[in-house]
Structure 1
Amino acid sequence: MRAQAEALRDDIVAIRRDIHQHPELGYRETRTAQRVIAQLVALGLPYRGGIAGTGVVAELKKGEGPTVIIRADMDALPIQEDTDLPYASTTPGVMHACGHDTHVAMGLGAARLLLDADFAGTVRFVFQPAEEGCYNDPNGWSGGQRMVKEGVHVGASAAIALHQVPVIPTGRISIRDGAVMAASDEVEIIVHGRAAHAGVSPQAGIDAIVIAAQLVTTLQTVVARNVGPTDTAVVSIGTIQGGSATNIVAESVRLTGTIRTLNMDTRAHVHARIAAICEHTAAMHGTTIDCRIANGYPVTMNDAGVSAVARDAARRVLGDGALLDLPPLMGGEDFSFTAQAVPSCFALLGTQGAERSPYSLHSPKMIVDEAALPLGAAWLAQTALDLLAHFATQR
């Protein structure tokens, strides 16, 4: 499979560069979807467009058998590219700084490889919008969540996906059981105070800034003293806004932050502790604090059985020494919604070339080693074939 993929390298790279030059934000991937459709038409694959807004789903069916999903996300980020590449983004303020352009190219490359492969069953190619967030979705759903709501996973025995990582060397891949990526939630806290003259009569006010400062410090104890040392969680306050003048006791302060956890019990416990800290801090200061925690992406969990097949495929395609044993990452990933609905495997593929660029995901200087693209396409195709054979024996 690797040799066949290497023969397609120029085509896969050309697709990637075209998409990279014309990045589109979530739920706006109209041009990207059109390019995907054009490739599917050229391959003779039936497809459906307009799924979850701008998503595209195609199926390659060869006789009766199980169904395996290959998923690729399509959206870019609101970042101004700073790479000086000849195929850099031509859209001001938008860049494929997470490498979803490579995911699309590898997904289409896998379709090319599977077209001539011998198997029984169906491979469903899911080109998904809006992985990076919900944007203006009326329900506040990301593309992956909306696709699951629309039933893209129905009838599938398994699903696979990968994410390029530009700080892992090309040719290496991490496929683990259990948690791969963290649950990613957001917290918004509004501290209600009472304004007063900060120099003449500060005692007449309730200082929202003082309370907010205490909250920022106390919230750090959620991880330090409420999460076990063998577990992992993050609570970070990223913004703080409040106050109107140097001589006025602040009437309100707004704080926002992120919460990351690796299992559902810890997730619920951390949420409860943050809410309790806000409630009791408010009581202590004789005021009120609004605490809103918005559930984002759940933990991305790999099924052990699917991952075992995926690791074997990686050894066959990339070699025995390709596998890495990386710990879970604390980033969020909306493939988690698919993984909740169907046994899944999410792999991390190295795309760091010999120049060893230090810039990672979401950097305006991120560089992807395109030599990794045929490797990813080959792994996706081989894993899909092996999963079809695996599940066929269980029918």
Structure 2
Amino acid sequence: MSKLNPYKKLVFQNIENALSDLNAEDKGCYFICNCPECNQHEAFMYKNNKHFIQCNRENYCGSRMILEFHEKGNMSAYEQEIEKQYPNLTIEQRQALDWSNRVFSYAKNYFKSEALDHGYRGLSKQTTRGFVADLQDEAIVQHVFQKAEPLLNKNYANNSWMCKRNLMFPLYGEDHTLDRVLLRSSIDENLDPKEIQLIFNPSKETRDFFMDIPQDAENVVVSESILDALSFREIDKNVGIMALTGATKTRQIKDYLAEHKEQFANKHLLIAMDDDQAGWKATRDIVNTIEDDGVGENWSVFDYTSETKDANENLQQNRKAFTKAYNQMAARTKQHERMMAIEHEP
């Protein structure tokens, strides 16, 4: 390895061989693989960026590797997939979408981030990894806006107010292509509004909620924002998360719950909207869907502590109380499941 290229290079015939050799396990938007360095089944590879793999055991291995393939035809498979799925995009837009997908994936995994590494809003970098790309500098954000202009249909590159938003939360559709990006700032946290949304795929109705649910998750949190959802992931690494991009945007997440209710058959749904009028309305809307469509076997509404109104505020102000409240909820859920099992015993 040279100083110019600090990552080990792995060469495979094609992506199929790589997934087979690495014992890849499909986890939705990413694969869990055997690490080529330490041989532990704890390396991850994102589906929208199959040229990079990183070991998750940072304190023991943490190796990062670049994948290359002999069959060059596979190099453009992603571009061909986009062209097939989104024929209404122009060539320029498809190229911009592909580039954006790659740069966000790379930034999430390989950019150093002072804001995220030191704990952003109470969240460790282990929690934010895979969800946040810190572009760090206004010049880099400006470059991203320049490249993405065909998709955005607007030039934000010369808008300093937008270019200060260095934290980007990419949001992917069920096809694993980029749909939206939420933008926040660690350069200037006084920017108002704190969060901006941009649609990066103008060819369809884009998904407006985040979702990451491990197969063996017992609890799934439905929250009002990605930061609130990640606050629960901070205290329970295996909790499933579904996060709105605003209290009024409940239609798509309700449709998903109703259409995929088998996915939640053995899970407890924890509704954790903001403790305000908009949050209460969103809670009612989602609970009505859960009950009317028979989604999951049980659900509850999370009670915040310390007079806080959302999960991230609760985590930051009183982490101990927040953790205790969540663990008590989880214990009640297990007790309820045991009682239900006894009642159904022959």
* Higher relative contact order (CA closer than 8 Å, sequence separation 6+): 1
TM-score normalised according to structure 1 size: 0.24
Structure richer in strand, relative to its length: 1
